[in-house]
Amino acid sequence: MPDGMYPTTTTDLASKRRELAPETEAAFIAFSQQVFAAGELPVKTKQLIAVAVAHVTQCPYCIKGHTRAALRHGASQQELMEAIWVAAEMRAGAAYAHSALAMEQMQKAAGPASG
């Protein structure tokens, strides 16, 4: 049963994607495995970052998958929620920062007399 407007991921869907572009899928999987491998950052930290980014990009599949992965790699529920709050602040902060663009246009529209 689909979850709202997003279809449930299935093995059939994965097979079809692989069938349509096998080399690209293989490259993407290899890239993903490399990105999420332990390096200077531990896997748990990378998964917490992914959870935060997934909330900003609003990808339900990524939110679910990376939350599960973060938990598997030892993240606590508190760490996950903290990462989500960081994402929320960054999203709100971007709107606040970009208000400068609107303010610039308002100033231009008001003409040279405004300060």
- What is this structure's pTM? 0.83
pLDDT in tens, 56-73: 999 999 999 999 999 999
Residue 80: CB atoms within 10 A of its CB come to 18
CATH numbers and ranges of domains, the chain: 9-38 (no CATH), 39-115 (1.20.1290.10)
Hey, is 47 helix, strand or coil? helix
Tell the residue number behind the tokens 């999987």, with chain if given: 29
**Nearest partner of 90 among 100, 82, 78, judged by Cα:** 82
Half-sphere exposure of 13 (CA within 13 A, CB side): 5
pLDDT in tens, 69-97: 999 999 999 999 999 999 999 999 999 99
